[in-house]
Structure 1
């Protein structure tokens, strides 16, 4: 199967889904990554004394290293304005996303849930755009589209207590439709992917990415309800 991950920024693929992408490639699936921006507007650029364009070039090179680590079937990094997707005409973003989906013809698309995990506005725009395009294309006859999934974190308590700089959003347990268990080798791949982002190591440590993910990656599946949750995003489609 062809699986397309669509995210707004570099490193979105490594903050959770990278080990799942690795598993899917091992299982014989074709795995593609489409990133809408080069992430040049990150505040890290100020520490490095780089312009938005220069930072975008740096992060793109880091993404090329991730592509090699994971062995992706294909990767495309677009150059829409980082941190300004909410200011764009959403129809222009939809055109870009739709064109890439038509090029890949994936059976499964993966992006962010309605809360965006981090709550960042680029993530929220990404969710709305991908969901709208998915539905429009299916209604328009793109029968190859079978499933839309959203990378998420589970809410394991009624009122999760968090400390530190990064306050993540969660999905209710009843919304979780797929729980992919990670092997030690999958977690090592995630660490290698994260290490490709040389300029982001402080952020990665502050966010406790590896510890937060643990040994399971969670997904919501749009307009599907799986109890118990699926073990793989492609279950039931083959």
Structure 2
């Protein structure tokens, strides 16, 4: 199966489903990554003394390290405005995503669940736009792809520690859990290490410590009894 992960920023994949992405590659799936922005608006640019264009190139090089570390089938990084997706005409975002879908012809799309985990606006816009494109293509029926929309999420309690707030989905909403190996977890940690400019944030978030081998997903628009045994079951 061909799986396309779609996220707005560099590091969304590594703070998120990187262990599952590597597990799916091990299982023989093609795993592709589409990132909508270069993450150039990060405040880290002030610490580094660079402008947005330079910061975008720094983050792109870090993503190239992630691509190699995880062994992704492909990676495409677009140049939509970081932090400004909510100000764009959503139809324009839909167009660029649809172009990439038609180019790759993925069986499965993956993006954030409706809460975006962090609640950041770019995450919420990406969820809405990817869902809209998926529904449009499914209604057209002619292409035969994509067949499924999976939504990366968290399990458990909502985390509120002052600096970080992380949303979660209920047990009933989770339709599939990717069970990852220690090899997958090591690749996840190595992918995070690629983001040299973000190590302070990575350490503060404790993401390496709190991320578990169980990576949960919701499945949109399907009547699923129980939980799937794989992200591609039934396709």
**Structure 2 length normalisation: TM-score?**
0.96
Distance in 2 (alpha carbons) for counterparts of 1:175 and 1:161: 18
Q: Which residue does the alignment assign to 2:147?
A: 146
Aligned length: 234
Q: Which residue does the alignment assign to 1:179?
A: 177
Deviation track 1:166-222 (CA, whole Å, cap 9, x = no partner) reads 111111111011111121111101000000000001111111112232121110100
Q: Which secondary structure does the structure 1 equivalent of 2:80 belong to?
A: coil
Where does structure 1 differ by over 6 angstroms across 4 or more consecutive aligned residues?
Answer: none
Deviation track 1:82-115 (CA, whole Å, cap 9, x = no partner) reads 0000000000000000000000000000001111
Greater displacement, 100-109 / 10-19: 10-19
Q: Structure 1 143/190 Cα, relative in aligned 2: closer, same or farther at 3 Å?
A: same
What is the correspondence of 1:1-238 to structure 2 with a 5 Å cutoff? 1-140=1-140, 141-154=142-155, 156-157=156-157, 160=158, 162-237=160-235
Q: Which runs of 5+ in 1 are unaligned?
A: none
Shift of 1:16: 2.3
Q: Structure 1 129/211 Cα, relative in aligned 2: closer, same or farther at 3 Å?
A: same
Greater displacement, 89-98 / 218-227: 218-227
Greater displacement, 210-219 / 224-233: 224-233
Instruction: Indicate the RMSD between aligned Cα atoms, in angstroms.
Output: 1.3
Greater displacement, 172-181 / 54-63: 172-181
Shift of 1:153: 0.5
Q: Which secondary structure does the structure 2 equivalent of 1:114 belong to?
A: coil
Q: Which secondary structure does the structure 1 equivalent of 2:166 belong to?
A: coil
Q: Is the 8 A contact 1:8 1:36 kept in 2?
A: yes
Greater displacement, 210-219 / 42-51: 210-219
Q: Which runs of 5+ in 2 are unaligned?
A: none
Deviation track 1:129-185 (CA, whole Å, cap 9, x = no partner) reads 00000010111123121110110001x35xx45324111111111101111112111
